[in-house]
Chains A and B, each alone.
Chain A
Amino acid sequence: MKSEFTPPIGKISNMNGQCISLIGNDIDTDRIIPARFLKCVNFDSLGESVFEDDRKTLKGKHPFDLEKNKHASILVVNSNFGCGSSREHAPQALMRWGIKAIIGESFADIFYSNCIAIGIPCFTLPKKSIEEIQNYCDNQSLFLEIDLKNSSAESKDFNFNLKIKESSRKMFLSGEWDATSTLLDNENLIENKFNQLPYTQFNTNFL
């Protein structure tokens, strides 16, 4: 755990930080935050338990325990990262540890939506580029400057064109990624929809 945690707020357009590489496909959300840590009514203390079991198994050699990664904020992963459970506790734990953006080969759907909803942009790159970054991180520190306006990531040695869903990119740039207020803007439309749906007419016991 690093300095005091402050959640992201408003427009997100630039992120500069050190990369932390985590190798493996299909890393599920049970591994990111084991279920026993879900016994909580807020997310505050999740940061210290991120990857708890994997870290214990690796006895200090897990990337999240290495001294050189202490200040890293851009997580670089392989394919289908965040599969399994819908627990938002997983990206919350990563964010509270210090992760501000994730670059990967691919992400599981629910994990991706959860990241967007809490202000962690997730970008994709082809397998080859990811491996290039991960190899580089083996021996030295990689600092990337991510610019969401043109979806680029740059360092002195690299220049990548990141991919991100256009809807997510726009939401971060406009600061509307915290969806509640945008959704509430359409309150009349929501009421209309409710009244139009066939089943709201015949589910008399339900209501």
Chain B
Amino acid sequence: MSQDTLFDKVWDLHKVSSLPGGSDQIFIGLHLIHEVTSPQAFGALKDKKLKVKFPDRTVATVDHIVPTDNQSRPFKDNLAEQMIETLEKNCLEHKIRFFNIGSGNQGIVHVVAPELGLTQPGMTIACGDSHTSTHGAFGSIAFGIGTSQVRDVLATQTIAMNKLKVRQIWCDNTLSKGVYAKDLVLHIINKLGVKAGVGFAYEFAGPAIHELSMEERMTICNMSIEGGARCGYINPDEKTFSYIKNKLYAPKNEHWDKALRWWESLKSDENSIYDDVFKLDASKVEPTVTWGITPGQSISINQQIPLLDDLSPNDKLVAEEAYEYMSFKPGQLIKDTPVDVCFIGSCTNGRISDLRVAAKVLKGKKVSKNVKAFAVPGSEKVATEAKQEGIDQIFKDSGFQWREPGCSMCLAMNSDKLIGNQVSASSSNRNFKGRQGSPSGRTLLMSPAMVAAAAINGKVSDVREFIN
């Protein structure tokens, strides 16, 4: 059993009681909600005649279903309109702070909360979305929950949960040029597998993690769930504190000093005990691309799609399914695979630094005529910042469509969808069958810089050839 890790400290601090069945009752410091997984939870409150216990500790925005081309109301899609109206009504009725479209603070929930300073070290954070692990980048303990648990948090500000084990993932050295946080996390998931994290929280640590910016750290923690870990975190440091300072909801004046003293005391102890430790050399990681139907099925840009015999018995079943679905042959190179759609955005890689990196690759170049490319900023704030820096213009000049903020084609709940068996180069987080809106659509996950390179060449490319 782990001891004295940040996870242990934050868990113990938030433990309200030991429940009769043996799980713990955990207080949730920040609850984030959106339009897709909350309506049934509010419905259940109504059925049970319960109120929201701490309305101030829940914050709402709208992201999954919003159109990214035309956001004027009512939405063209009646069901989407009904969902946003339901959220508006629920927030109004229960006095919950809601960042709606046009507020200047709307966007993907996991982009918005950090940029507002709501996400802070030492908090427990829950949201009806599996990518809530993103917030662990700040040294908070953050995890996705289902709608029944959203109901529980609304009604009690607590949930029943079994304590997780802790695996430290130690990343030595630093990433090479042209290799990004996305490549590192895809690499980790490939090495450990998509279910190794079940029952675990992942602590990402080591020199390579220390070097990363806060936005890159969010990319890493965001994809913990793709490795099976519903929670991933990084011990907070100077970068964390300076990111939060002066944000809208950050502690101010003398409160800031108090907060800082507490945050500085929060990291895992030097002699803390982990349930497991996994070490890797980050300098060996290369630009990485998925070839299959799980985020664990990835290879370096210059590698071949694995042969069945090269895989462990457990991986063979899904590999066979993947070859067939993706129409790839074992042994085939991933490089030069033609792509139809290029998507830059999502809670994994839709932040300003992601757009900056992609813009650097795109500047002065044109998107291949065979490719439909579009960029979806993660939030209204990201969009504004990008416009101030002229990044939107670089995207547009290259042939990218520049859209309004939302989750968009990461999960295709709006009209941004693949058609037929199109291949997309995507900066999002899931390459599941049908994930991007077409039951036969094919997704190749990669870093935003790699998506930009693929857009220019019309095929999977090595971004390192663009940046030297």
Contacts and interface: CB of A to CB of B under 8 A. Distances in A.
Contacts of B225: 84, 110
Nearest to A204: B255
Interface string B29-67: 100000011011001000010100110110000001100
A169 B120 CA distance: 35
Given A167-B22, A167-B162, A88 B130 contact: no
A66 interface: no
A41 B152 contact: no
A31 B21 contact: no
Interface in B145-164: 145-149, 151-152, 155-162
B128 interface: yes
A179 interface: yes
Contacts of B161: 113
Given A25-B318, A117-B148, A183-B158, A176 B20 contact: yes
Interface in A80-126: 80, 83-89, 91, 106-110, 113-114, 117-118
A26 B16 contact: no
Interface stretch (A8-16, A144-152, A191-199): A191-199
A180 interface: yes
Contact of B40 (A39, A43, A53, A194): A43
Interface in B398-416: 411-413
Most buried by B among A41, A56, A184: A41
B122 A34 contact: no
B433 interface: yes
Interface stretch (B75-83, B267-275, B330-338, B383-391): B75-83
B353 interface: no
Contact of A31 (B80, B152, B250, B434): B434
Contact of B14 (A78, A171, A193, A204): A193
B278 interface: no
B230 interface: yes
A179 B118 CA distance: 27
B130 A86 contact: yes
B439 A57 contact: yes
A129 B374 CA distance: 48
Contact of A110 (B29, B50, B144, B255): B144
B433 A167 contact: no
A204 to B, nearest CB: 6
B142 interface: no
Nearest to B27: A193
B214 to A, nearest CB: 19
Nearest to B412: A35
B280 interface: no
Nearest to A207: B56
Interface in B301-354: 314, 317-318, 321
Contact of B21 (A24, A43, A171): A171
Contacts of A26: 194-195, 294, 318
Interface in A7-45: 24-26, 28, 30-31, 34-36, 38-43
A203 B432 contact: no
11 contacts: A35-B435, A86-B144, A109-B228, A165-B162, A170-B20, A186-B17, A190-B53, A193-B27, A205-B249, A206-B57, A206-B249
Given A38-B413, A84-B432, A110-B143, 20 more contacts: A26-B194, A26-B195, A26-B294, A30-B433, A31-B433, A39-B413, A53-B439, A79-B195, A86-B130, A110-B144, A110-B225, A113-B146, A117-B146, A166-B21, A167-B23, A190-B16, A194-B54, A199-B122, A205-B252, A207-B56
